[in-house]
Structures are given as C-alpha cells and as structure tokens.
Structure 1
Amino acid sequence: MERAPLNDAIARGPEGGAAYWLKTEDGLRIRFGHWPGPAQPRGTVFLLCGRTEYVEKYGPAAVEFAARGYAMLAVDWRGQGLADRLLPNDPMKGHVGGIMDYQLDLKAVIKAAHELNLPRPFYFVGHSMGGAIGLRALQSTDHPFAAAAFSAPMWGIKVPTLLHPLRIIIAQLFGDSFMAEGFPPGMNAQTYVYRDSFEKNRLTRDPEMWAWLIDQAAKEPALTLAGPTVHWVAESILECEALAALPSPDLPCYCALGGIEKIVYTPSVHDRMGRWPGATFDVIPGAEHELMMEVPATRARFYDGCVAVFDAAGAAAAIKAESA
C-alpha cells in the first residue's frame, strides 16, 4: 500500500498518523488517513466525511476518539480532497459520476483497514453526505460495522419550499442535461469558508473552529472544493429518495442533529430516526450543521453519544463471542 501525504501541522491529530493511496475497483485514486489511538484501542471508527471535506479536517475528531479509547480513520472521497477530481477542466466543482460510486470508495477503505489489521470492531460516523453513504452501506448483508453514528446526515436534500414537491422530476430532468456540469442556483466556484462570513455561516457557532477551517484552506488550497454540480445534486436527491423507501438497519445507532440545522432536509432525519428501533436520536439545541466543529460542549456531547453506543455494541459483541 503506497503512502500518501498527511499534513500533520494543519490536521492537529494524534501522533503516529499515516495516510495511504488506494485504488478503487473502477481505477480512481482516493486517499485515507489513519490515527492509531490509544495503546489498546477498543475498535476503529471510520469517519465518513461530507461533501467538500478531507482527511485533515478530522484530526481533532481523532484526538477525541483516542481520548475515549478508539482509533480512527478518515477518507477523501472521489472528487474531493487529494483524491482524483472528476472534472479535470474544472477540478473545484463537486462532482460524481453516479452516487453509488462512493460505495466503491468505501469498499476500498474497508479492504485497506483489513490489510492493515486495524483494531476491531469497526464502527462508523457518517457526517452529512457521509451519512447517506453509510446508510447505503448498511443495506449490504456483509458490511463490517458493529454500530453506526450519524452527524446531520444527508437523508434529504434541502430545496426551495415551492420546488420540494417537484424535486424528483427536477432531478430527472436536469441531472443529465446540458446543465449537468454547471453550478445550481446559489452555488459558485468559491469554497464555502471564503464565501460566507462567520456571522452568516451555517456550519458552526465556534469562531475558533471557523478560523481554523479558513487557515486550513489557506495553507492547503488543493484540499478545498467549491459548490456541487447540478448532476451531483440530482444524484443526491434520487439517492435520498431511494434510501427513504428502505427499512432501517438492525444495528445500534446514535444520530445527532443541530437544533438550528440549515444544510440538510431535517424532516427526512426525523422520519428515519422515528423508525429505527432502539436508536438514540439527539437534537442538540442551538447547534449548526457541523457538530464536530461546533462549540466545545456540543462537540463533547456528540462524541460521548457516539462512544456510548460503540461501547455497548462492543461489549455485546464480546459477550456473544465468549458464549459461541
């Protein structure tokens, strides 16, 4: 497995982190980073990040999980971070060929985790778009995860209220039209942290975290991404509709949502969690979209919620193994 660059200075992750290049089944190069955690970790958390994100953004999350007993890895999905970009003539656009292609990326990461003999059990945290990728992965009977956690999962795409009833028709009409590789209304070629001020941003209420994200973008502009293409939006709308029709997995789950969430379509999250037996649903008052980049109290509440479910699932798996 070929080593890839990992910018420790901007990642602020635990010591001993490493990154690797991976090849997907369809020949694309993606990157994942791994932080080993404590001496005897209780498992490995797969951080399935959102659109625009990258490995280094989750160094502090690795610190938090390490403090709670877990190793962690994060991934640059195709089309973002240092992974292969999908529109060579305009690499800043957030694009994907088909939404199921992200499953090929996750499959490559799971394979690498096995090859590196990362600590078991495996768990995941799916943030935003990563929440849709993770929920889709759980539909497979051979997924390796013992429990799942979600942060503001993208289980519905927010569109203008008047257009919401027409979202499927719009996605089908425009997703592969002459507009497919253009920006949808309201999006442009700037990465988000440059496009909005702290006062207007919809990601975090923590000024220090916001400043850190701007610093990362300034020091490593190759990691950044701008708005999505029309095709990406259409693919995501159709995937969210497909996921909504599926039953909830039989798996322990923690899901958190900010009380003032403005990015994802929140009714879809409430609907899913209302039909996930035994799951914990935590709406955090006053929190924005990125719970792991929020004020310290919100971050602690989120990580503690994840680990409570992971610890319980790990203990149950150990008891089952002993009795087998």
Structure 2
Amino acid sequence: MPEPAPFLADIAEGPAGGRACWLRAADGVRLRACVWPEGEKGTVLLFPGRTEYIEKYSRPAAELAARGWRSVAIDWRGQGLSARLLDDPAMGHVVHFRDYQKDVAALSEFIVAEDLSGPFFLIAHSMGGAIGLGALHEGLAVRAAAFSAPMWGIHLTARQRPMAWALALAARALGLEHRYAPSTSAASYLAEADFAGNLLTSDPESWAWMQSHLKAHPELALGGPSIGWLREALFETRRLMRLPAPDVPALAFLGSEERVVDPRPVIRRMRSWPRGRLELVEGARHEIMMERPEIRRRFFDEADALFSAFL
C-alpha cells in the first residue's frame, strides 16, 4: 500500500475521507496524491495547474462528490508537497515537459493500488490541461474529459512572443535554464497580488480562501517558472497543437477575461475536436473552478452531464 503523506485538513474543504499518500515516479521523484473516496458513479482524475496543490482541489472534490463522483488529485513534480527539483524551492521547474507523464503513470498505479473502480474521467486545469491532452494521446483510459482554461498556448504579447522563443531556443546553450523567466521571481503571484485586477478569479471569497492557504502553509507556495520550464512548455504546447484531436468526448471552458493562457489555440483545438465542445464564459478569468458560484456550478454541472452520458 502507498505510504501515507501529510494532508492539510485545516485548509481543505473536501468531502469526508480525503487522504494523501506518497508515490514514486519511474525516475524516483517523490510525488503526493490524494483520494476522496465518496461517490458511486465513477472516478474523476483531477489534473491541477502550475503552482497548485491537492488541498486547493478539495472544493472541486466536494462539487464532484455532491454529483456522485469520487476523485483523485496529484501534486505535480516541483510543486505542492511533491519533490521540488531545484535548490531554489520557489522556482517552478521541469527538466522535460514529458516528465509529467511519469507523474500520470504513478497516479494511474495509485488508482490501481487503491482499488478505485471506474469508469474514469478527467478534469484538467491550465498546465494540467497540457499534461492531460498529452496523456490522452498516450492512451490515458478515460471515457471523457473536461478542461478548464487549458494551457495549449501561453499568453504572450506580440512583443513578448519572439523574445520568449529566442530565449527558449538559447536557454540550454547559454546555461539559463535554472534562472527565473523574465518578469517573474521567487514571489508567489497569489500571495503578493491584490484582488483588484488579479488574473485568476472575479470571486473575492475564492481569492481570500486561496490566499489563506499560503498564509497558513507557506511551504505550498511557488514562484515564477524557470526559463527551462518556459522552454519545455513552449515546445510541448506547439507539439500538442500539431496533433489531431484525441478520439475522446471533451468539453472546454474558457473565460472572456483569460490572460494567463493563450485563448486562440483553445478555440482552434475545440473547433477541430470531433466530439468536443467549447463553452465561453462571459466575465470569467483564468480559474473557472475558483470563480463565482454560478460559474463554478455551471462548470461542474456541464462536466457531470458529459461524464454521465458515458456511464
């Protein structure tokens, strides 16, 4: 059985019975996963975004449990309480973006070890959307997927884009991979930003809840990405957009005020996804699952309807 890991119940608001375990990826990286076992319909895999952690997905787990689903979530390598990959623990980093697929494989083994029954479905947010799309192409055994602001491109201005690509292409040759990406630092955006004008949510209660996590447990905080992470993310999103859509029913939600991921690849991909549907949400920002109650409810109702159609 997997070794028990810390679960920060003082900040989590998920269904009863949530518990965390340590996992080992194939390359030895220690990861943390969590299962919320309530629910009879099936199991939903929750793929978080960059900087996120299990306890933040306790509310989505509660939304799913209320609709009859059990759920599992993971701290990706380099964030949450999973192993940080650099001497600077505040720097978000990955050596190769496809290393995240080793984390997916470890989560899949955890599901088997926990004897969680299917059918299986996927909810993936932001960077988790890129990892999730890659996992679907590698045969992740889910019947349908719901994406929240998937990172199928990074939001860059017309001026920033050529500079980002030039930096990405030169990063390894110049030994820059372990430096912070331009305009970022060790500071956590969520911990430092004000609610007014923030990029993540228009809901003040959700904003305060997320900030309270980092005040109570600063070890969860993550700052800006490394130049190495930026390089890998640019190449991976370009690779994914050159592939055909997977043969999996899919739903994607995208806010009209999205300024973290690039909306254009999301729109293009969902238009070409034979069994895909895009929901554009007026007034929503990046974190659909942390948005105003009516937006959150709409997302989980639509995901529930999609998944229930394939039971």
Residue 275 of structure 2: which of 272, 275, 278 is its match? 278
Provide the residue aligned with 1:9 in structure 2. 10
Assess if the C-alpha contact under 8 Å between 2:148 and 2:253 holds in 1: yes
Deviation, structure 1 residue 188: 1.1
In the superposition, the TM-score normalised over structure 2's length comes to 0.97
- 1:241 paired to 2:238: yes
Q: Which amino acid is the alignment partner of residue 151 of structure 1?
A: S
Deviation, structure 1 residue 183: 1.2
Residue 262 of structure 1: which of 247, 259, 264 is its match? 259
User: Equivalents in 1 of 2:93, 2:185: separation in Å?
Assistant: 13
Change (3 A) 1:252 1:214: same
Provide the residue aligned with 1:251 in structure 2. 248
User: Equivalents in 1 of 2:238, 2:151: separation in Å?
Assistant: 11
- Residues 18-74 of structure 1 show CA distances to partners (whole Å, capped at 9, x for unaligned) of 110000100010000111123xx1111111000000000010101100011100111
Deviation, structure 1 residue 180: 1.4
- 1:109 paired to 2:107: yes
- 1:62 paired to 2:74: no
1:197-216 aligned within 5 A? 197-216=194-213
- 1:92 paired to 2:93: no
Change (3 A) 1:103 1:217: same
- 1:164 paired to 2:165: no
Deviation, structure 1 residue 165: 5.0
Q: Which amino acid is the alignment partner of residue 307 of structure 1?
A: D
In the superposition, the TM-score normalised over structure 1's length comes to 0.93
Provide the residue aligned with 1:319 in structure 2. none
Provide the residue aligned with 1:51 in structure 2. 50
- Residues 138-175 of structure 1 show CA distances to partners (whole Å, capped at 9, x for unaligned) of 1124x211111100000001222124356544422225
Change (3 A) 1:179 1:31: same
Q: Please state whether the residue corresponding to 1:11 is helix, strand or coil.
A: coil
User: Equivalents in 2 of 1:298, 1:156: separation in Å?
Assistant: 23
Assess if the C-alpha contact under 8 Å between 1:175 and 1:235 holds in 2: no
User: Equivalents in 2 of 1:170, 1:93: separation in Å?
Assistant: 17
Assess if the C-alpha contact under 8 Å between 1:14 and 1:37 holds in 2: yes
1:29-40 aligned within 5 A? 29-38=30-39
Provide the residue aligned with 1:27 in structure 2. 28
**Which consecutive residues of structure 2, in runs of 5 or more, have no partner in the other structure?**
none
User: Equivalents in 2 of 1:78, 1:12: separation in Å?
Assistant: 23
Change (3 A) 1:199 1:176: farther
User: Equivalents in 1 of 2:107, 2:176: separation in Å?
Assistant: 32
Q: Please state whether the residue corresponding to 2:144 is helix, strand or coil.
A: strand
- Residues 86-144 of structure 1 show CA distances to partners (whole Å, capped at 9, x for unaligned) of 00x21110011110000000100011101211120111111000000000011124x21
User: Equivalents in 1 of 2:165, 2:142: separation in Å?
Assistant: 31
User: Equivalents in 1 of 2:173, 2:114: separation in Å?
Assistant: 39
Assess if the C-alpha contact under 8 Å between 1:93 and 1:227 holds in 2: yes
User: Equivalents in 2 of 1:189, 1:176: separation in Å?
Assistant: 24
User: Equivalents in 2 of 1:155, 1:290: separation in Å?
Assistant: 15
Provide the residue aligned with 2:125 in structure 1. 127
User: Equivalents in 2 of 1:72, 1:310: separation in Å?
Assistant: 13
Assess if the C-alpha contact under 8 Å between 1:181 and 1:231 holds in 2: yes
Q: Which amino acid is the alignment partner of residue 189 of structure 2?
A: Y
Q: Which amino acid is the alignment partner of residue 194 of structure 1?
A: A
- 1:191 paired to 2:188: yes
User: Equivalents in 2 of 1:74, 1:137: separation in Å?
Assistant: 15
- Residues 170-196 of structure 1 show CA distances to partners (whole Å, capped at 9, x for unaligned) of 422225532211112211111111221
Change (3 A) 1:291 1:166: same
Provide the residue aligned with 1:81 in structure 2. 80
Q: Which amino acid is the alignment partner of residue 201 of structure 1?
A: N
Provide the residue aligned with 2:142 in structure 1. 145
Q: Please state whether the residue corresponding to 2:310 is helix, strand or coil.
A: helix
Provide the residue aligned with 1:308 in structure 2. 305
Q: Please state whether the residue corresponding to 1:257 is helix, strand or coil.
A: strand
Q: Which amino acid is the alignment partner of residue 77 of structure 2?
A: R
User: Equivalents in 1 of 2:24, 2:231: separation in Å?
Assistant: 26
Q: Which amino acid is the alignment partner of residue 57 of structure 1?
A: K
Q: Please state whether the residue corresponding to 2:82 is helix, strand or coil.
A: coil
Q: Please state whether the residue corresponding to 1:9 is helix, strand or coil.
A: coil
Which deviates more, 214-223 or 167-176?
167-176
Which deviates more, 168-177 or 156-165?
168-177
